Amino acid sequence: MTDSPLRIDDRGAIRVITIDRPAKLNALDSATLDALHVAADAAAADPQVRVLVLTGAGPKAFVAGADIAEMSGLSPAQGRDFALRGQRMMRRFERLPKPVIAMVNGFALGGGLELAMCCHLRIAADTARLGQPEINLGLIPGFGGTQRLLRLAGRAAALELCLAGAPIDAARALQLGIVNRVVPAAELEAETMKLATQLAGAAPLALRGILDCIQVGGEAGIEEGLEYEAAQFGLVFSTEDMREGTAAFLDKRKPVFHGR
């Protein structure tokens, strides 16, 4: 569809989802939130897709925030519904059983930072700027920003970013643990695809187990988390991929995993 807010490009086992609203700096309106949720469902159901990459169109922005023009006329009840809509979409990506990488190519502000943080890994261009500037609009983060910043960067950094509302550069985001890597802007796509290719060649069921242990087990207490990890560890012993991986190690060859 020519009017879709997304571009979807499959590169082998890697699916690249590009938010394609450059004139709006890829702002998240209701249609884009819904399209992203549909795209997440489709990727989860497609056995050919092993890794997802999320990025934004154009040279300026990953996602510059939620669509302020749409939000400005909302009632309190509509505002809550809009927040829940965004949270549901981002939770869907966060809980995908396949790795999701945010390729942060520019501004990741407000809903854009929230979208990046729901991804499992984040690679940022050295020119990227990240922040939660909602306070400057008389708003608060609504798509999970307070909660994921707290978990990624700690209480002090979460309070500073949300209360002061000033963006930070990619180097500072790396220091705070908000992004995993910072690379020169000209190398961003190549470095992101290199990581995505590495993950696409890994054992899919083991990837899923790791994601589950960290995303699900990590929300429980330590004893429950350890028990969950042990259960997942036992499950992978039932897979062909585990037999292939251990046999390849003993045979001193590269394993070939099929997700079985």
Residue positions annotated with a catalytic role: 114, 134
Q: Where are the alpha helices (DSSP H) in 119-169?
A: 145-153, 155-164
Number of neighbours of residue 4 by Cβ within 10 angstroms: 12
From 227, 138, 259, 193, select the one nearest 9 (Cα to Cα): 193
Residue type, 158: A
Tokens 């399209």 belong to residue: 35
How far apart are alpha carbons 146 and 174 in whole angstroms? 18
How far apart are alpha carbons 2 and 19 in whole angstroms? 13
The three-class DSSP label of residue 169 is strand
CA geometry: angle 69, 71, 76, nearest 5 deg: 155
Judge whether 145 and 113 are in contact, CB under 8 Å.
yes
Q: What is the four-CA torsion angle of 242, 244, 248, 250, rounded to 10 degrees?
A: 60
Q: What is the four-CA torsion angle of 86, 167, 23, 140, rounded to 10 degrees?
A: 30
How far apart are alpha carbons 23 and 255 in whole angstroms? 45
